[in-house]
Amino acid sequence: MKIAKVIGNIWATRKEERLAGYKLLIVQPVNILDGSPDRAPIVAADMIGAGMGETVIIVGGSSARSAAGDMSVPVDATVVGIVDDQEFDPGILEEREAVKP
């Protein structure tokens, strides 16, 4: 699973028939610690009704197809959750960095 920000929508009137009925979003994967962009934006099938600007949880590969409800659906990424909040302890990260050889 990865964290991403919804930055857009995709509308496709002509598409592979197994994608009919799926809402498609443009999501920007982000660094879970600081929210900075992690790589290029991707298209993800939205199973839960996420909206513009929301932070979401995405899955990829066979997990994305499984989350879409049909292993034959041609999706590489699926939105499976909307993040309400997150919390982490930066001290733990600093401790881990200090003990690296």
**CATH code, domain with 57:** 2.40.50.220
- 64 SS3 class: helix
- What pLDDT, on a 0 to 100 scale, did the predictor assign at position 40? 97
Which value, to the nearest 10 degrees, does the dihedral of the CA atoms of residues 86, 89, 94, 97 take?
Answer: -60
- What pLDDT, on a 0 to 100 scale, did the predictor assign at position 21? 87
**Contact assessment for residue 71 and residue 48, using Cβ atoms and an 8 Å cutoff:** no
Radius of gyration of the chain, Cα coordinates, nearest whole angstrom: 16
* Total tally of structural domains belonging to the chain: 1
User: What is the chain's pLDDT, residue by residue, as a tens digit (101 residues)?
Assistant: 999 999 999 999 898 898 888 999 999 999 988 889 999 999 999 999 999 999 999 999 999 999 988 888 899 999 999 999 988 887 776 766 666 66
d(CA 5, CA 53): 6
Domain of 32 in residue numbering reads as 2-99
- What pLDDT, on a 0 to 100 scale, did the predictor assign at position 72? 87
Give this prediction's pTM.
0.84
